[in-house]
Structure 1
Amino acid sequence: MNKKIVHVLLPALLGLTLLPVRAAHGQYQAQGEYADVRSQDYLRDVVALASTLGSAHAIRVLCNGRNDQYWRSYMQELLGLEAPYQGRLRSSMVDAFNSAYSAEAARRNSCDAGAVSAEKVYASTGERLANSLVQANLPEAARRSGEDND
């Protein structure tokens, strides 16, 4: 529905995997062979992004039918990039997506102007969260040079 925001969201998500992970107070230790360290703020935001995608997906399915997997495909991409292996982070992201989907599906029973507007808000929120995740993981020097360009 809002293709401009979507074209910005995917590159931002893809950019997350290209950045070095910055350790912070309150670290999260993934289980297993592929463990890495991520800040609690990062975990909060990536789970919030998964939740936002779940809400948007519920509206998209309501308005366009079950064959429209637009936002779900973004969630699959996010999982592949940020939590490709079984573990707490992946489980938290999937649970957040599914819970938000269920809550939004229970809240709405028709695709009206309010639903279309809500999907746009979710898309905008998702874009903000993705950009926040990218900014939080940029090295300090890169953040300062970006501020110089403003």
Structure 2
Amino acid sequence: MSQHLNRAKTLAIAALALGVALVSPAMAQTEAVPQAGGSEAAGSEKAAPYDDRLTRLSEVVGAVHYLRNLCNSAAEPEWRQSLSDLMENETKAEPKRRARLTAAYNRGYRSFASVYTTCTAAAVRAEENYRNEGATLAAEITARYGN
């Protein structure tokens, strides 16, 4: 359980510090592939008590990533790298959790990619709303599980 608490703390601190920023476009294309035959580690994966919130946070970050890139031409590679590292740390040796979080990220990204092809006032508002929701989720995870 303390391993999940440490992960929650790392997640929340990084998400708050970055203002629920961006994840690399390459991450949106990454799919975790469970090992053939199922390893013992993969079979022993247990959901963290904050996985529902973490899944929603992944979806929110996907949406924010798409909308920020649509409306902001300046790249922000340090945020991308920090969140990529966060995903790696959060799902180390847990390919099923990684796949769920990646799928949530992709869902958020694609939900706006299918609607907005140019930056509009509505896209800017949506990005702000999702960024605020992400900050709230990160704060909740920290308050409840971050110790």
Classify the TM-score, shorter chain: 0.5 to 0.7
* The structure with more radius of gyration: 1
Residue 90 of structure 1: aligned partner: 98
Identify the match of residue 132 of structure 1 among 109, 129, 140: 140
Residue 77 of structure 1: aligned partner: 85
Matching of residues 19-58 of structure 1 within 5 Å: 32=41, 37-40=46-49, 42-58=50-66
Give the partner amino acid of 1:114: A
Residues 8-63 of structure 1: CA distance to partner in whole angstroms, max 9, x if unpaired?
713799xxxxxxxxxxxxxxxxx618x675544x1100010000000011111222
Residue 69 of structure 2: aligned partner: 61
TM-score (norm 1): 0.61
Structure 2 CA distance for aligned equivalents of residues 44 and 77 of structure 1 = 20
Structure 2 gap ranges (5+)? 1-13, 21-39
Q: Secondary structure at the match of 1:107?
A: coil
**CA RMSD in angstroms, aligned pairs only:** 3.4
Closer/same/farther in 2, CA of residues 11 and 119 from structure 1, 3 Å limit: closer
Residue 115 of structure 2: aligned partner: 107
Contact 1:47 1:96 in 2 (8 A): yes
Q: Secondary structure at the match of 2:139?
A: helix
Structure 1 stretch displaced more, 62-71 or 95-104: 62-71
Higher relative contact order (CA 8 A, sep 6+): 2
TM-score (norm 2): 0.63
Contact 2:57 2:137 in 1 (8 A): yes
Task: State whether structure 2 residue 17 is matched by structure 1 residue 10.
Answer: yes
Structure 1 gap ranges (5+)? 1-6, 14-30, 140-150
Identity %: 25
Structure 1 CA distance for aligned equivalents of residues 16 and 100 of structure 2 = 21
Q: Secondary structure at the match of 2:69?
A: helix
Residue 22 of structure 1: aligned partner: none
Q: State the number of aligned residues.
A: 116
Residues 45-83 of structure 1: CA distance to partner in whole angstroms, max 9, x if unpaired?
001000000001111122235955676545413313321
Give the partner amino acid of 1:32: A
Residues 73-113 of structure 1: CA distance to partner in whole angstroms, max 9, x if unpaired?
45413313321334211111101001111111101122011
